[in-house]
Amino acid sequence: MLTIYSRIVVPFDGSVLSQKALEMAIKLIEQDKRIELDVLTVVNNEITGKPVYNVELQQESQRRAAAELQTTIKEKLALLPNRTRTIVLDGDPSKMILEFAKENNSDLIIMGSRGLSGLKELYLGSVSHHVVQKAACPVLIVK
């Protein structure tokens, strides 16, 4: 496992299962300081469901929430000798996760089977589903 995977990405939406995915990734990288870890949060710009009166304001507050999530993670990751990064991107979550993994040569994606959405998205687990189908590298789905 450790000799095969050297650059892990955890798509993190703050949900319990994405936290579990991050814990698993940390356990893995603790075994070898050469393994790198990226934690990626995507702020979804697609407005669905309820009417939104101020799109800019909503996006801004989502970005702030994502940055706050990342701050806590950053403190935790700083304790490790491994090279780690926390990243916030705007866009469609599954598209951005796939693009990020490709551009950064991630060789393992660790993510939750479910996330935050509840009723907000059309299909539950749509991000994990899409990423599993389309990723070029192995995907570890945490349940």
Ligand X SMILES: Nc1ncnc2c1ncn2[C@@H]1O[C@H](COP(=O)(O)OP(=O)(O)O)[C@@H](O)[C@H]1O
Q: Which residues make Cβ contacts (< 8 Å) with residue 89, sequence separation at least 6? A: 40, 41, 42, 43, 96, 100
- Give the CB-nearest residue to Mg ion: 115
Q: Provide, rounded to whole angstroms, the least separation between the CB of residue 105 and ligand X.
A: 19
User: Is residue 5 within 8 Å of residue 28, measured between CB atoms?
Assistant: yes
Judged by CB under 5 A, the residue of 115, 128, 131, 142 near Mg ion is 115
User: Is residue 103 within 8 Å of residue 81, measured between CB atoms?
Assistant: no
With CB under 6 A as the rule, give the number of residues binding ligand X. 24
User: Is residue 40 within 8 Å of residue 89, measured between CB atoms?
Assistant: yes
* Nearest to ligand X of 33, 55 (CB atom): 55
Residues that bind ligand X (CB under 6 A): 11-13, 15, 17-18, 21, 40-42, 44, 93, 111-112, 114-117, 121, 124-128
